[in-house]
């Protein structure tokens, strides 16, 4: 499964009046979006709660659990409300967080002198375009809707979206979701014409999959009667008879999003379309704090319905529609193309040239980035290690115990209550947000009891659970690759591993001249992998023995937690590397045009030739499962941990 950057606190300046204004604008947008959602009475039966970006090692199915929208909205508001705080107090809390050296990130491959720069001062300074398996870079450059040869009853007119009142929509949604005892909903036809009745029929069937309609006379008035044609199954399976046979079952489109992660975006789209989130598919998850462009596929939703959402939603745009016969699959992509702006750089032109030439020619160490390990004083790899050790009391303790550092206030109170009482019910009462891992584990302990922690832990969605053990694998890999580079440098040596197709083989003494460091891979510990035939192979064993684990037996008695091994390149050399240094005066202005800017014809601001500040604009492409922050780390020669960045924020970035 592919992941792009999740880090959102990166060498960001202390908040200015402009930042406050931006925050106010974001709040207004959220209120507007929430109001629109409430007015349209949108609610989905189920909500995807997985966080697939956390797992890089295997594709896993979406996990869906029931959730009320009101709880979702409350959770989102509470989670969002703590995003921006006073930078000094946040830096103080982050003193307990992780640094790069804590997770084995200690080496560089380049020789240039490092310099400073501000990453993601604006979320629009970090733009990601997905690269499909055919090598094509996804761009949003067309809002038009494809025209079918056949007329489709499913295609709604503009009037469809306004003909039903908010009250009608509320009643129809409750009927669709089987949330009351009513078997039908009657909608009076005020203007009784055949055209008006047809529009109402279309509106109900288009906006509420699973409902059928008929016309009835009641007391001399015409009514459209909506009813369930096939019970619960109809909601999951859109009506087949209304979809033209000549049209592919999946509508593919390009999703352009700003400052939202992929799953949040899909949940919003599913609410507005009144469908389940799991009818959407995609090739990889993308950042929240960024502008990202990626391909999405959805089952039997017309391009016209999707295009209408462009008028309703903030932070998203949908376009480049086409119909195909297949969904998308996680990991099917070639990678991602990044456009990154580092603002207020201090490096000389010569330092920047050296750094970027090194990135293009040598590359960077393919470390797992800091977001892989969490931001608090309890790293995710420690929980993963306890799972692999079958130490379930420690798993429970690590997740629930009080911890120093940056956390939301309600989590602090929950942990304090747990430490004091060890009462799941009492601790759960302190949590207004029940969908967090802590809330899910506490619910599990309430259901299964304190003596059955394994079952209680199993309530947490599978991807979240696997995140912990994959974090431990990443921790081992980072430490081992640092040792490998320290021991043997940037050359292939006898006993190293390289890939022949999908199979790892050892590099033999007489064959070593045929390989470079770019050919060398290192294993992630698990079953069915081999290890280097030199000092690093022994170092793997020593590290796992120190953690009370058997490197030759990574199968767990619970199948989900049996670690399958994999191989990962030591050095990644980015493709399509380009860069330029630009001058600017105003930190609020954009320094390049996005796809949406180009579609809307927005020109770039005229930049001064001798501005107060300098920025490094860089572009590069990376394969899946690699971290752009690690490439940027190699350029700047700076610790990318939030702990380090926030401390820099409050000391010298004034």
Which residues participate in catalysis according to the annotation?
A: 287
Contact present, 635 and 618 (Cβ < 8 Å): yes
Q: Which token pair is 370?
A: 């800091």
Contacts 24+ apart (CB under 8 A), 222-226: 222/188, 222/189, 222/192, 222/197, 223/186, 223/187, 223/188, 223/189, 224/186, 224/187, 224/189, 224/197, 224/200, 225/184, 225/185, 225/186, 225/187, 226/172, 226/175, 226/184, 226/185, 226/186, 226/187
The number of helices, as runs of H, and strands, as runs of E, in the chain is 20, 20
Q: Which residue has the tokens 């809307």?
A: 600
Q: Which token pair is 39?
A: 């007015």
3-state secondary structure 413-462: HHHHHHHHHCCHHHHHHCCCCCCCHHHHHHHHHHHHCCCCHHHHHCCCCH
In terms of Cα–Cα distance, which of 363, 369, 368 is closest to 572?
363
Quote the CA–CA distance of 7 and 259 in Å, as a whole number.
12
Q: Which residue has the tokens 């049209």?
A: 247
Q: Which token pair is 90?
A: 């946040």
Q: Which residue has the tokens 């394994």?
A: 454
| CA atoms within 13 A of residue 572's CA, in its CB half-sphere | 24
Quote the CA–CA distance of 531 and 554 in Å, as a whole number.
14
Q: Which token pair is 357?
A: 């030439």
For residue 618, what is the enclosing H or E element?
strand 613-622
Contact present, 72 and 634 (Cβ < 8 Å): no
């Amino acid at each position: 499964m592919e992941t792009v950057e999740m880090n959102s606190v990166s060498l960001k300046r202390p908040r200015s009046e402009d930042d406050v204004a931006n925050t106010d604008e974001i709040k207004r947008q959220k209120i507007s979006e929430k109001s629109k959602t409430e007015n349209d009475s949108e609610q989905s039966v189920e909500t995807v709660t997985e966080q697939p970006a956390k797992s890089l090692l295997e594709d896993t199915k979406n996990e869906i659990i029931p959730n009320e929208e009101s709880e979702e909205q409350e959770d989102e508001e509470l989670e969002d409300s703590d995003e921006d705080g006073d930078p000094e107090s946040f830096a103080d809390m982050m003193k307990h967080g992780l640094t790069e050296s804590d997770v084995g990130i200690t080496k560089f491959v380049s020789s240039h002198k490092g310099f400073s720069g501000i990453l993601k001062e604006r979320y629009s300074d970090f733009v990601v375009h997905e690269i499909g398996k055919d090598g094509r870079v996804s761009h949003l450059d067309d809002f038009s809707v494809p025209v079918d040869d056949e007329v489709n009853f499913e295609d709604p007119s503009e009037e469809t979206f306004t003909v039903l009142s908010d009250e009608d929509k509320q009643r129809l949604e409750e009927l669709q979701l089987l949330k009351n005892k009513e078997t039908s909903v009657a909608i009076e036809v005020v203007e009784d014409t055949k055209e008006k009745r047809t529009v109402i029929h279309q509106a109900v069937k288009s906006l509420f999959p699973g409902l059928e309609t008929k016309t009835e006379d009641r007391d001399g008035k015409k009514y459209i009667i909506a009813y369930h044609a096939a019970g619960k199954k109809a909601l999951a399976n859109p009506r087949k008879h209304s979809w033209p046979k000549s049209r592919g079952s999946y509508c593919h489109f390009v999703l352009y999003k700003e400052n939202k992660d992929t799953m949040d975006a899909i949940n919003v789209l599913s609410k507005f379309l009144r469908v389940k989130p799991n009818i959407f598919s995609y090739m990889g998850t993308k950042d929240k704090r960024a502008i990202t462009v990626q391909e999405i596929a959805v089952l039997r939703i017309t391009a016209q319905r999707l295009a209408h959402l462009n008028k309703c939603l903030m932070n998203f745009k949908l376009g480049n529609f086409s119909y195909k016969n297949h969904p998308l699959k996680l990991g099917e992509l070639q990678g991602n193309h990044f456009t990154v702006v580092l603002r207020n750089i201090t490096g000389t032109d010569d330092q920047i040239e050296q750094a970027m030439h090194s990135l293009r020619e040598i590359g960077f160490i393919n470390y797992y980035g800091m977001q892989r390990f969490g931001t608090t004083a309890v790293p995710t790899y420690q929980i993963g290690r306890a799972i692999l050790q079958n130490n379930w009391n420690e798993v429970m303790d690590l997740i629930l115990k009080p911890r120093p550092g940056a956390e939301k206030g309600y989590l602090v109170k929950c942990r304090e209550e747990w430490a004091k009482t060890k009462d799941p019910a009492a601790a759960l009462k302190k949590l207004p947000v029940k969908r967090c891992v802590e809330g899910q584990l506490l619910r599990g302990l309430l259901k299964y009891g304190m003596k059955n922690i394994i079952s209680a832990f199993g309530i947490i969605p599978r991807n979240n659970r696997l995140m912990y053990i994959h974090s431990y694998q990443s921790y081992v890999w980072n430490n081992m690759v640092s040792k490998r580079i320290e021991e043997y440098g940037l050359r292939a040596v006898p006993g190293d591993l390289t890939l022949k197709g999908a199979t790892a083989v050892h590099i033999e003494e007489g064959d070593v001249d045929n390989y470079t460091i770019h050919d060398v891979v290192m294993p992630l510990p698990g079953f069915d992998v081999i290890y280097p035939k030199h000092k690093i192979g022994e170092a793997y064993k020593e590290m796992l023995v120190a953690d009370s684990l058997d490197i030759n037996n990574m199968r767990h008695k619970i199948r989900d937690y049996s670690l399958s091994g994999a191989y990962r390149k030591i050095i990644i050399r980015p493709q399509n590397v380009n860069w330029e240094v630009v001058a600017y005066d105003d930190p609020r202005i954009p320094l390049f045009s996005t796809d949406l800017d180009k579609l809307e014809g927005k020109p770039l601001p005229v930049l001064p030739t001798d501005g107060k500040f300098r920025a490094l604009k860089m572009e590069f492409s990376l394969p899946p499962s690699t971290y752009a922050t690690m490439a940027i780390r190699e350029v700047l020669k700076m610790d990318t941990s939030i702990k380090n960045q926030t401390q820099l924020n409050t000391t010298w970035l004034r």
